[in-house]
Structure 1
Amino acid sequence: MNTTDNLIPRPSHVAPGDGPAFLLSPGARIAAGHAAAQVAEQLAALLRTATGFALPLVEEHRPGDISLELVESFDGGREAYTLTVAEDEIRLTASTPAGLFNGVQTLRQLFPAAIEEAGAAENRDAGTWVIPAVEIADAPRFAYRGLMLDVARSFFTVEEVKEQIDVMTQFKFNALHLHLTDDQAWRIEIHEPAENPSGLPYAKLTEVGGQGAVEVPTAVPPRGNSGFYTQQDFRDIQAYAATKNVLVIPEIDLPGHVNAALAAIPQLNPDGLAKPMSTTSEVGWSTLSVELPATYEFVREVLSQLAAITDGPYLHIGGDEAHVTGHDDYVAMVQRFVRIGAETGKSVVGWNEFAAVELPEGSVIQYWHGDFEPTVRQAEQSGSRVMMSPAANTYLDQKYASDSPVGLEWVEGGPFTWSEYYNWDPAQGGLQDQQILGVEGPLWTETVRNNQQAQWLLYPRAVSLAEVAWSGQEVRNAGDFRRRLGALGERLAQQGVVFQEAPDVEWSAKPEYPFPDPIAGSESKYGTIEA
């Protein structure tokens, strides 16, 4: 079976060609105009590493080249592309660099898996790099295809976030939601404003809250990582993400999940006394105060500064699990927070609890758990779009099995493997595709301490979500996807990506890296143990 049969996500249209295959030769070039140069250079860098070929960038193509071409309009929207492979050329066409980027990810999978191996040129002959003739026309089902990384419970450095982006984008994910604040920590720098009526010590948010982290006895190590992003760090992440067609969505969780803020800024507490920092993984026990003017002064300043450094159109204000906030207080506060967020010029995003308030035009409801009816009602009446993250189909922190060394198991119906994340349709409960912004898989990090642990929980389940979000329901098939997952194993292993070896998948290779076990120094079915 050739590589055209193994593509993930499944393209809209794949037609194997009758002619001879394309052979990438040492003299091949990559032809691209100025507007396509960045994507062309990314493709060249990938291919040079594995092949050792020079692959210079040129503007005019000749036989044997790979051509990237931008056109004025294109069926399927800004992320659509066509890819044609023939004996004498590879031609990739789109209307935007985003479309070209998506096409490059497909082209990457058409090459033999050895293309992922750094230094492969040393032990490969020049006839290795063969791609079958094929015609592909492709476009995404949903505009938003995201992952969420909870950097509040355990911090991920700028470089670690970039590594996550590098892996996720090969499956055409185009959004990264960063959960920046919670009870355990505050991860984004907020400058002292020129006007500060209540004298709120904003620098304390990272001075105190940046040192926080969750602590779970079964995690390795038990305590999460501390740290925070300066505003320049956040800009750096966004700039890198933009080169990979990824939008960054920041979240400040309100009015619950706020203990780190209450510990840093005494004036946010009715008694004027700072709360102690907490490392507990329990949820729903903290709240802002509806009656304090400082609450709204604080929220306005934080959201305004965050909006000012956010390139994308979305600002996430949380809204979930405010269990100790009275219903009337919740509605009153969140109604004001939504307006404050909208005044920044961003589209306000919130977890589905915030569907209880009147939402402004352009708002997005992220459905994760509980009653679905308010979300559907808002979509129908206010025009709010829905981001689908139902916990039983998208929560990537859930355990694969009861004895998984990391992960949680609170979601009903678990434990969860790749299939629960594949066998569902986001258009449910009366929602139509046009009301759905897209799909997001959240990774909460109560038990996650590094990128390897994160990858093990993410993959292969995030690959399932990638196909759910990209491929039309009519082209998806679970049995065929299982086979394609197995073939993907070799590519992930070549990249050094840790993944969980689902026992019902015939994997082409196993991950090379060991997986940390709760009992450091022992052996387990998850591999050699490293703390």
Structure 2
Amino acid sequence: MPFPIDVALTGDAPFALSGATVTGDPDAAGQLRALVRTRTGAELGAGDDIALTVDGSGAAESYRLDVSATGIRITGADAAGLFYGVQTLGQLIRREGDSWVVPAVRAVDAPRFAYRGVMLDVARHFHDVATVRAYIDRAACLKLNVLHLHLSDDQGWRLELRSRPELTATASATAVGGAAGGFYTQDDYRQIVAYAASRHMTVVPEFDMPGHTHAVGLAYPEIAAAPVVEVITEGSIPVAGEPYTGIGVGFSSLRIGDEATDAFVRDVFTELADLTPGPWLHFGGDESLGTDPEDFARFVAQASAVIAGLGKTPVAWHEAGAASGLAPGTVGQFWGFVSPTDAAARHARAFAERGGRLILSPADAIYLDMKPTADSALGLTWANGPTSLARAYGWEPTEVVDGVGEEAILGVEAPLWTETVATLDDIDALAFPRIAAAAEIAWSPATGAERSWESFRGRVGGLGPLWTNLDIHFPALEEVPWTT
């Protein structure tokens, strides 16, 4: 999981893990030792039963796996490919009587999309470094390679910036429902970025603007417009200058056209670019429901130009596609439905028409914060009701936005907004097992004998013991025939 491009049983006897040894790339060997220890309790010694190498051939992130009774060979095109081959090997380990074995298989594998992401919203509820690291581990084991961190919203600002110290001094202490807030120091953020890189994941940070900026107004009221409360359809009413702990959206905006606002945008993205080695910076651009459309278009064009001028690729939610002046190459992130409205499709398509590409995140299929079942204690239902695992799996990226083919799709991302998510257990309860659907859609070929709901649900069920060993507290959805 996700299913490889080409994999087959060879008919040979399985490889016995008892007393097995590993040699080769030290990082990959360490990952494999930890995975085998967690799954089986066994320790791999030093030796050449299992050989892990990088040979530089093949597509980026690809690998080849060969298991026989006498040994295992994993060869990666690069370090990421070798890491993913190790994850596949870990999924193949099974119990046979009193022994742990790996079935004899050959696999050749490579990803469909270069960008395979998850998003964690740390603004509605703050999640500490340990929780973020745990989520990175969970995503990476499914060959996902991007962590999008939603670092600011109406409820709080979550990253220390030395150019704008009031953001964390006065705008980080609260969260939804009055929960404690928090923020990452710059050292915390560097730790997250480095840990993600060790799992071959790139961090994409987001400061959302011009909307979703009520918290900015607590720190710098001179650049915040008054709340437009009539757009709120759910949640409490905000008051200018007071922390917001509700879940309403669309009411806030920066003052567009002011020199002080322009200076703020330059300051925060300049510092964020210095802290972030990855190529993408996300500037939001969604749900500015009370903002004048011309002001909105001017703002997102300017923000994208600032980011491009810093040598980064701007990313924005699809509403920003309404602006004709976006920096060339700006990436759009589509969060409409699998069958989108005309406006959402038009705005998303505009990114591709202007030389950018799209990240697909259809809310009614891949938003992990939607309830998985009607009786789930966590989650929301605004995206066409509860999202079952079957619905999470049953969509195709090239069929969402008319006129946007595979060449214009950068990848797929599964966001997890945190209105109802306060702990790692909450993350597990909503992300799993639907995160596996996102991973397979992002990695595996669109068609094939095993790219079916029946195959997928069976393979998800087979991962139950591994996920349990990895301390992932997933719900045992009735859609899945779980292996116990």
What TM-score comes out, normalization by structure 2 length? Answer: 0.92
Matched, 1:297 2:289: no
The amino acid of 2:113's aligned partner reads F
Aligned counterpart, 2:236: none
Q: Deviations over 1:284-308 (max 9, x none)?
A: 0000111311101001000010011
In structure 2, distance between residues paired with 1:210 and 1:239: 24
In structure 1, distance between residues paired with 2:211 and 2:155: 12
Aligned counterpart, 1:176: 147
TM-aligned CA distance change 1:171 to 1:270, over 3 Å: closer
In structure 2, distance between residues paired with 1:426 and 1:449: 30
Task: Identify the match of residue 465 of structure 2 among 490, 493, 502.
Answer: 490
In structure 2, distance between residues paired with 1:69 and 1:177: 30
In structure 2, distance between residues paired with 1:149 and 1:52: 31
Q: How does 1:229-240 map to 2 (within 5 A)?
A: 229-240=184-195
In structure 1, distance between residues paired with 2:302 and 2:438: 34
Task: Identify the match of residue 89 of structure 2 among 86, 102, 107.
Answer: 107
In structure 2, distance between residues paired with 1:448 and 1:53: 35
Aligned counterpart, 2:232: none
Task: Return structure 1 stretches of 4+ with deviation > 6 angstroms.
Answer: none
Matched, 1:157 2:128: yes
Aligned counterpart, 2:251: 285
Would you say how many aligned residue pairs link Structure 1 and Structure 2? 461
Aligned counterpart, 1:30: 22
Judge conservation of contact 1:23–1:131 (CA < 8 Å) in 2.
yes
Judge conservation of contact 1:417–1:502 (CA < 8 Å) in 2.
no
In structure 1, distance between residues paired with 2:27 and 2:390: 36
Aligned counterpart, 1:408: 380
Task: Identify the match of residue 113 of structure 2 among 137, 142, 147.
Answer: 142
Judge conservation of contact 1:177–1:249 (CA < 8 Å) in 2.
yes
Aligned counterpart, 2:55: 71
Q: Deviations over 1:475-499 (max 9, x none)?
A: 2101111111222222222222122
Aligned counterpart, 2:480: 505
Aligned counterpart, 2:328: 361
Residue 166 of structure 1: how far off its partner (Å): 1.3
Matched, 1:190 2:161: yes
Q: Between Structure 1 and Structure 2, whose CA radius of gyration is higher?
A: 1
Residue 73 of structure 1: how far off its partner (Å): 1.9
Aligned counterpart, 2:72: 90
In structure 2, distance between residues paired with 1:287 and 1:113: 56
Residue 213 of structure 1: how far off its partner (Å): 0.6
- Unpaired runs of 5+ residues, structure 2, are 227-238
Aligned counterpart, 1:228: 183
Residue 449 of structure 1: how far off its partner (Å): 1.0
The amino acid of 1:212's aligned partner reads T
In structure 2, distance between residues paired with 1:161 and 1:261: 23
Residue 356 of structure 1: how far off its partner (Å): 1.6
Matched, 1:243 2:236: no
The amino acid of 1:500's aligned partner reads P
Aligned counterpart, 2:427: 454
Aligned counterpart, 1:397: 369
Aligned counterpart, 2:455: 480
Aligned counterpart, 1:265: 220
Task: Identify the match of residue 444 of structure 1 among 417, 428, 442.
Answer: 417
Judge conservation of contact 2:330–2:351 (CA < 8 Å) in 1.
no
Residue 44 of structure 1: how far off its partner (Å): 1.8
What TM-score comes out, normalization by structure 1 length? Answer: 0.84
Judge conservation of contact 1:264–1:274 (CA < 8 Å) in 2.
no
My pick for the range that moved more, 204-213 or 149-158, is: 204-213
Judge conservation of contact 2:320–2:347 (CA < 8 Å) in 1.
no
In structure 1, distance between residues paired with 2:119 and 2:361: 10
Residue 226 of structure 1: how far off its partner (Å): 1.0
TM-aligned CA distance change 1:503 to 1:189, over 3 Å: same
Q: Deviations over 1:349-390 (max 9, x none)?
A: 0000111223333321000025212322331x2221100001
Judge conservation of contact 1:270–1:292 (CA < 8 Å) in 2.
no
